[in-house]
Amino acid sequence: MAGAGGEPVLVLGGGLMGLAVAHALARRGESVLVLSRRRSEAAGFVAAGMLAPHAEGLEGVMLELGRRSLERIPAWVADIEADAGLSCGRWRCGIVVPFASAAERDAYPTAGRGVPLDRAGLEREVAGIGPGWRAGVLFPQDGQIDNRRSLMRALEKACTALGVRFQEGSEVLGLDTATGRLDGVWTRTVQGQEQRIASRRAVLSGGAWSARLLPNLPVVPIKGQMLSLQGPREALRRVVFGPGTYLVPRRDGLLVVGATSEPEAGFSDGLTPQGQRQLQEGIEALLPAAVHWPPMERWWGFRPGTPDQAPLLGPSAIEGLWLATGHYRNGVLLAAITAELTSGLVTGAGTADRGLEELLRAFRWDRFEHWDPSAQTVASSIRRDPVAEGVG
Ligand code: GLY
C-alpha cells in the first residue's frame, strides 16, 4: 500500500531502528524509502548486541517494554532470516551479573527474576571468573544477537528483498511543514545536490543525531568505547555483565567488551587512553585469563540518550512524523517492539496487543514538553559508569 500519489513512507535514518521500522513497514505492504547519511556510524554497528532487560536492571515501564520486546525477538528474528536468507546470530546464552556480596545482589532491581548464585555457582557458570565476585544472578532468559557481523546485514538484505529503497549518503536538511503538517523533506546528497522528497508520512530514526532535525527533541550522544579479543571457542558461554564493563562471547570465541559511557564527550571521535584503560581493568576484574587473549578491534560510537534513559516512540508534535529514537543502552533489545509499534501507527493498523498501546503512552515525546534544551539536562541526568568514576 503506497501513500498519496504513490509516495513512499520516508525513514529518516538507516541505522538499526530505521532498518527495523523499514522492514516492518515493507512487511505490511508499504513502499519505503530509507534516507541515510552514513550507516557505518549507526549505533547498531557499535553495540554489543545484548538482549538484557533483566541483566541491565531495568525497572518500571522500561522493564515492561524490554520484556515485551524480548518475547517478540524469536519471531522478529525468524521473519528477518526468512526474508534475508541470512542468520541474525541470535543466541539465548543467558547473562550472569556478578556482585561483590550477596547483599548487593539481593538489592539489584531485577534480582527476583533470575537465579541467585553463590561463589560456587558463579564459578560453575563463568569458569575463571575473577576472585573479587562473591555472588551473582543468572538470567537465563536474556541473551544476545551478533549485531555487528550478522543482524545489520541480514536486516538490510531483508529490506532489499521486500523492495525497500535506500538513499545512502543523503543528509536530511529539514522537514517541509509549510502547510502545518509534514509534506516532505529536503535532502542533500554526497555530491552536494539538494532535493525535496514529497511524502506525508515519515519516521525519525536518526539515533544520536535525531535532534539535528528536531532541535527540541531531548536526545544527546552518549559516547561508548569498546574492543574485542579472540578467545578460545567456548571459553565463555554466558555474557558477563559487570559494573562498567561487560563481556559478550560470540559462538566462534570472539569476545566483545563494552563499554564506556561518556555523557560529556558529545560527538568527539576517537578512543581515549582512559576509556581503554577502563575496559582493560574491567576485563582483568571479570575474567583475568582474557587479558592474554589477542586483541582484535577497538571502536567507539554514540548512543542516543534521553533525560530519563527511555526511548521516544509514537507520534511527534508534527502531524505525519513519528518517532523511533532515543533507545540509549537498549536499542538491539527494543528494535523488535519499536518496529511493531511504529509500523502499526504509521499504517493505521495499530497492534493487536491493546496493553501495548497503553504502554506506549509512557514513551511519547510530550513527557518532555517543558524540557529546556538550553539547560542541557540530558547529559547530566545520564548515570556515569562506576568504573569511570573510580568506584568499581
Ligand atoms: N547496552 C550496553 C551499552 O549500551 O553499553
pLDDT of 35-85, one tens digit each?
A: 999 888 888 899 999 999 999 999 999 999 999 999 999 999 999 999 999
Of the pLDDT bands very low, low, confident and very high (cuts 50, 70, 90), residue 5 is low
pLDDT of 135-160, one tens digit each?
A: 999 999 999 999 999 999 999 999 99
C-alpha cell at 126: 563463568
Of the pLDDT bands very low, low, confident and very high (cuts 50, 70, 90), residue 3 is low
Closest to 275 (Cα-Cα) out of 233, 234, 245: 245
- Residue 128 region by backbone torsions, left for phi larger than 0, else alpha for psi between -120 and 50, else beta: left
Rounded to whole angstroms, the Cα distance separating 346 from 102 reads 47
Share of the chain above pLDDT 70, in %: 93
Q: Please, are residues 66 and 121 in contact by the beta-carbon 8 Å criterion?
A: no
**Atom number of ligand 1 nearest to Cα 328:** 4
**Atom number of ligand 1 nearest to Cα 56:** 1
- Residue 57 region by backbone torsions, left for phi larger than 0, else alpha for psi between -120 and 50, else beta: left
Which of the pair, 5 or 234, is modelled with greater confidence? 234
Rounded to whole angstroms, the Cα distance separating 207 from 329 reads 11
Which residue's CA is minimally distant from atom 2 of ligand 1? 329
- Architecture per CATH, domain 90-143+220-303, reads as 2-Layer Sandwich (3.30)
Closest to 121 (Cα-Cα) out of 91, 97, 92, 144: 97
- Provide the residue ranges of all domains of the chain, joining segments of one domain with +: 4-88+147-219+308-390, 90-143+220-303
This prediction has a pTM of 0.94
pLDDT of 279-312, one tens digit each?
A: 999 999 999 999 999 999 999 999 999 999 999 9
Q: Which of 227, 246, 309 to mutate to test the pocket of ligand 1 (most atoms within 8 A of CB)?
A: 246
User: Looking at the domain that runs over 4-88+147-219+308-390, which CATH code has it been given?
Assistant: 3.50.50.60
Ligand 1 centroid–CA 144 distance in Å is 12
pLDDT of 258-284, one tens digit each?
A: 999 999 999 999 999 999 999 999 999
Residue 171, amino acid: E
Q: Is the pLDDT of residue 185 over 70?
A: yes
**Atom number of ligand 1 nearest to Cα 329:** 4
Q: Which of 51, 260, 279, 303 to mutate to test the pocket of ligand 1 (most atoms within 8 A of CB)?
A: 303
C-alpha cell at 251: 559462538
Which of the pair, 354 or 72, is modelled with greater confidence? 72
Q: Give the residue carrying C-alpha cell 512487511.
A: 27
pLDDT of 91-134, one tens digit each?
A: 999 999 999 999 999 999 999 999 999 999 999 999 999 999 99
Give bridge partners of residue 198 from the DSSP assignment.
184
Of the pLDDT bands very low, low, confident and very high (cuts 50, 70, 90), residue 375 is low
4-88+147-219+308-390 matches 90-143+220-303 in fold: no
Which residue's CA is minimally distant from atom 5 of ligand 1? 259
Which residue's CA is minimally distant from atom 1 of ligand 1? 329
